């Protein structure tokens, strides 16, 4: 899977899970290592929203100096209390090892503006439309339309973070109008792209974890 980590978020990765990360050029990243069982956290990867309080706790702990034991313990306790309370964001793109779905994913990654229907994709990989729909649902847990939208969101946030305008990103993703793109973005993430751009400018860039 691929998890998107915008400026106001963090990704949780359980211990022992292999992963890699890629950050935009302007990203500022903090790593928080938590002992197993120290906090009530999910058993699977997820992207959390990070409250202003939790964000400042992480920054403060990263700057902690030697000899600040009691205060450091108090801040750590607060962090471990606050982190499990953070809401999970739907910024995950399931990735399957199924060869036919990989073919579709690679094609969409290369050309996100491709608006081929489910029936057209099914024809390309020699499946019926219903068979492809079932395969996508089985492998990703999402409908084909929702899966493609998740890909669009991840591409959009990456491109916005790199400095592209909302108009450029909308066109790159094949939307008929900027309004349609903004509506999709706001419905999925709760904020229009302009507010995400503002957050990126103020808090640094984005990261992707796979």
- pLDDT surpasses 90 at 126: yes
- pLDDT surpasses 60 at 174: yes
pLDDT for 189 equals 81
Q: In the numeric block, which tokens belong to residue 121?
A: 């994709």
- Which part of the chain is CATH 1.10.10.60? 96-209
Name the band, by pLDDT with cuts 50, 70 and 90, for residue 202.
low
10 Å Cβ neighbour count for 166?
Answer: 19
Question: Is residue 152 a contact partner of residue 112, using CB atoms and an 8 Å limit?
Answer: yes
Q: Which residue has the higher pLDDT, 127 or 206?
A: 127
Read off the pLDDT of each residue in 14-31 and give the average, rounded to a whole number.
85
DSSP string, 77-120: HHHHHHGGGSPEE--EE-----HHHHHHHHHHHH-TT----HHH
Superfamily holding 96-209: Homeodomain-like (1.10.10.60)
pLDDT for 160 equals 84
Of the candidates 143, 196, 168, 185, the residue with the CA atom closest to the CA atom of residue 7:
196
What residues does 9 pair with on adjacent strands?
Answer: 49
What is the rounded average pLDDT for all residues in the chain?
A: 87
pLDDT for 161 equals 74
């Amino acid at each position: 899977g691929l998890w998107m980590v915008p400026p106001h978020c963090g990704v949780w990765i359980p211990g022992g899970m292999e992963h890699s990360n890629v950050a935009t050029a302007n990203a500022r990243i903090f790593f928080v290592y938590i002992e197993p069982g120290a906090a009530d956290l999910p058993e699977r990867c997820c992207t959390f929203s990070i409250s202003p309080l939790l964000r400042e706790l992480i920054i403060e702990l990263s700057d902690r100096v030697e000899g600040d034991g009691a205060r450091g313990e108090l801040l750590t306790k607060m962090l471990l209390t606050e982190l499990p309370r953070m809401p999970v964001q739907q910024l995950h793109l399931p990735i399957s090892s199924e060869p036919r779905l990989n073919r579709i994913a690679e094609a969409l990654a290369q050309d996100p503006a491709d608006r081929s229907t489910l029936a057209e994709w099914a024809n390309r990989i020699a499946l019926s439309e219903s068979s492809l729909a079932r395969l996508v649902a089985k492998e990703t847990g999402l409908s084909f339309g929702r899966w493609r939208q998740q890909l669009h969101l991840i591409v959009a946030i990456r491109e916005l973070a790199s400095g592209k305008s909302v108009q450029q990103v909308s066109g790159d993703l094949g939307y008929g109008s900027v309004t349609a793109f903004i509506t999709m973005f706001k419905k999925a993430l709760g904020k229009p792209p302009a507010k995400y751009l503002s957050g990126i400018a103020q808090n640094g860039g984005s990261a992707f974890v796979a």
